[in-house]
Amino acid sequence: MSADGNGNNNSNGFPKNRIHEFRTIAEQIKPNTTILDLGCGNGCLLHFVKQSKPVKETGIEINPVKINQCVSKGVSVIQSDLDHGLKFPKKSFDTVLIVDTLQTTQSPITVLEQALKVGKKLILVFPNFAQIQVRLYLLAMGRMPKSKELPYEWHNTPNIHLFTIQDMLNLCKEKGINVHAEAYFDSGGNPLPNIFPNFFASKAMLVLSK
């Protein structure tokens, strides 16, 4: 969760407007299973999941400040660079999470494929660059779009590999990745019905496996 804007954080350190997203993710995780969160940020998602059910969590994070925040929450975290690869054996985690992180990696395909290899399933959450407001921003302003999900300037954004829902669905088809479930959210974090998500959704959650 390194690449999103900071909303109003509640006492557990996550923006209030992400409650639906977090709940939807947590629903996909069974109790007494193992989770690996790639780019776990300050650990608020793992902390949220841990509070709702017993799980064995591991976060991967590169930023020392965020690692300290994880440790304060009692979340287990390993300092590592996702772009240096994951050295875990096949299917060693029940669930792998990549939340708001894939677009920040140097080689997103490698990270995605490794996540699908080490995890029995992958929950992928990402900002949709084809959402109507983003499209209009580019169309009207002629500048790189900024929004709540994408608050950075073009030159300082960690989001170096932005993509759309359609891009990801195409990639899944191309790579033979199974899509088991999908959920979409608007810019306020509210759930959206599954109607033209590539046009309306600010954020997407896909449950994938290979």
Partner 1 sequence: MAPQNNSVGTVQTKFANFKKPFKLQSGETLPELTVAYETYGTLNESKSNAILITHALSGDAHAAGFHKGDKKPGWWDEFIGPGKGLDTNKYFIICSNFLGGCKGTTGPKSTNPKTGLPYSLEFPLITVSDMVRVQKLLLDHLKIKKLLAIVGGSLGGMQALEWSVKYPKAAHSILALATTAKSSPQTIAFNEVGRQAIMSDPAFANGNYYFRTKKPKTGLAIARMIGHITYLSDKGLQKKFGRKLQDKNKPDFSFNTEFQIESYLKYKGGTFVDRFDANSYLYITRAMDYFDVARGKSLSIAFAKTQARFLVVSFTSDWLYPPEESQKITHALTLAGKNVTYYNITADYGHDSFLVKTNELARIVRRFLDSSYKEFEKELKELNK
Count CA atoms within 13 Å of residue 103 on its CB side.
26
63 touches partner 1 (CB under 8 A)? no
Minimum CB separation of residue 74 from partner 1 in Å reads 4
CB of residue 204 vs partner 1: minimum separation in angstroms? 29
- How many residues are present in the chain? 210
Q: With respect to partner 1, which residue has the nearer C-beta, 51 or 194?
A: 51
- Does residue 51 bind partner 1 (CB under 8 A)? no
Residue 68 or residue 106: which is nearer to partner 1 going by CB?
68
Among 31, 54, 64, 193, binds partner 1 (CB under 8 A): 64
Name the pairing type of β-strands 56-61 and 34-38. Answer: parallel
**What is the footprint of partner 1 within residues 98-157 (CB under 8 A)?**
none
Q: Interface residues with partner 1 (CB under 8 A)? A: 34, 56, 58, 64, 67-68, 70-74, 76-80, 87-89, 92
